[in-house]
Chain A
Amino acid sequence: MDELFVKAYVDESEKEHIARPNLTALQDGWLRLKKNKAAVVCLFTLIAIGLLAILAPEFSRYSYKETNYDIIYQIPSMEHFFGTDQFGRDLWVRTWMGTRISLLIAFVAALLDLTLGVTYGAVSALAGGKVDAVMQRIIEVLVGIPHLIIVILLMMVMPAGIWTIVVALSITGWVNMARLVRGSILKLKNQEFVLAARVLGTSTAGIIWKHLIPNTVGVIVINAMFTIPSAIFTEAFLSFIGIGMQEPKASLGVLINNGYQVLRNFPHVLIFPAIVIVLIMVCFSILGDGLRDALDPRMRK
């Protein structure tokens, strides 16, 4: 070891070297999400459900409205995986068709929520002052009115159908998103990197698109994750009380309503759609929670 007491060559670049791998916020978030086993399981479950919803009805030889009075109320078998209902329709196809419709309604409603909520919240936060105050008062009034009552009233007034349900759901759901987005932007507005952007001469539009929105995306995505199960549940509830989808089209709520009426004698009619809806809701919630933990930069280190 004695011979080592001589001058060492030190690479200049070593001094500023960064050891950690180069990750974007997204990649970093994904890595953290992967560690949350429950969230990953839910993610794959949802993907599986989604695939089944799209593909199962296409690959079956039965259609969702094909009736056959010879085979009504059959229990699950190799012919009919989920059995048949009161009109002899194949429940496997109807369940996945219903899932497709429920998911479609939920996604579109969430999308409308998002668009309306983000715009409202962003404008409110950026305008500030009196405009902001007025906009917030409007929201407070809206929140005060029972959400479900508005939805039911709308359903009774407008023609039945998917789009009616979507609109009814969106009308009140956007409020939460608006509040969250407003909160996020208010906080970001005064951060030093936004001040720096102003000092450097970045235009207001530039500030919104380069700085404010990218840092709010996390909040938006996570809130959307929670909006979806909420929409699915509300739709199911509406269908369950009879003002949702109309026959022969079925959403999960309609199926559950049908199954509920014959629960005593033919439980299989209720069980399968019920399991699917529970799975969807639970998985979105757990995934949403997982995403929130994974994307929150403060929880780093």
Chain B
Amino acid sequence: MKSAEKKLLLEVKHLKKYFQVGKNQILKAVDDVSLDIYKGETLGLVGESGCGKSTFGRTVIQLYEPTDGRIVYDGREINGSLPSAERHGFTRKMQMIFQDPYACLNPRMKVIDIVAEGIDAHGILKGEERTKKVLELLETVGLSEEHANRFPHEFSGGQRQRVGIARTLAVNPEFVICDEPISALDVSIQAQVINLLKELQEKRGLTYLFIAHDLSMVKHISDRIGVMYLGAMVELADSESLFEAPLHPYTQALLSAIPIPDPDVEKSRSRIMLEGSLPNPVNLKEGCRFASRCPYAEQLCKEKTPEMKEVRPGHFAACHKAM
């Protein structure tokens, strides 16, 4: 993000999403996460399985009802209390791209109808104009007219994902949550989709929340990155700072674990190896979630849950020992 004008587009305040998974068993999938996203930026959200990043995205876009917390979009409060007519209009502004290209398209619908779904839902265009718009969108994502009358199973993963992107663009959104859009794609196709997303962002002034577990790809596309662990945000900073000087021990371990495609460098690296594995996410107790695996853990860490503090300008971390 270049210029100084930083208009706040989305404010998420103390968002909680809990699931009841059994008698007296509560899974705190998202536990008190706060986040601000500015217009035009790409905020990357990373973490490993069970960290809650996908749940966070889906709660923000109202697929799940938040257990607690506030979501403010463009100055308007949007969690659950919107009258349905307004909510309908609001769905045009915030959209989502999904992970699994093999499940995100209705196998019984033709591509032209899939892409036009949003248009049809809001009654924006009909007939000739509708067809024209769909063909335009297909071209924007690198597909063509010959694809319009085909069915999803005839396409490759990368092509399907692009159909999904065309569908999202059809309603002219401002803010797009990308929920692991490239994880299920081959490496060379990932680059195609990422380039397309960046191009669309520039041309249409889109704002992205980019959820992924592939840190290198996230770094490539994001202005700022948030790291989540077991439902909590543990670090938030701009991409450069996060990679060059990670503050949270989990981030440090995560970065050191990514294999680098360079044999000389990779084979001579020293790694931070994490002991053990994720603790049981159900019924978590007080104290830092990462304490059981942290090489620097102390008594304080086990007793008191750390809060996100601005350790350096613009660089936040939830760790008692970060400085």
Contact = CB atoms under 8 A, between A and B. Distances in A.
Interface stretch (A127-135, A194-202, A225-233): A194-202
Contacts of A20: 154
A16 B159 contact: yes
Nearest to A19: B154
B144 A13 contact: yes
B106 A215 contact: yes
Contacts, number: 86
Contacts of A193: 103-106
Interface stretch (B28-36, B73-81, B91-99, B301-309): B91-99
Contact of A16 (B61, B105, B144): B144
B153 A297 contact: yes
Contacts of A199: 61, 63, 91, 95-96
A18 B150 contact: yes
Interface extent on A, as a size class?
Answer: 20 to 34
Interface string A165-205: 00000000000000000000000000111011111111100
A25 interface: yes
A297 B105 CA distance: 14
B142 interface: yes
Contact of A202 (B98, B99, B117): B117
Contacts of A35: none
Interface in B22-76: 58, 61, 63
Nearest to B105: A193
Contacts of B142: 16
Contacts of B186: none
B100 A192 contact: yes
24 contacts: A16-B159, A18-B146, A22-B150, A22-B151, A23-B151, A24-B151, A192-B99, A192-B104, A193-B105, A196-B96, A196-B104, A199-B61, A199-B96, A200-B91, A200-B171, A201-B92, A201-B122, A202-B121, A203-B121, A206-B121, A210-B117, A211-B106, A215-B107, A215-B108
Interface of B: 58, 61, 63, 88, 91-92, 95-96, 98-100, 103-109, 117-118, 120-122, 142-144, 146-147, 149-151, 153-155, 159, 164, 167, 171
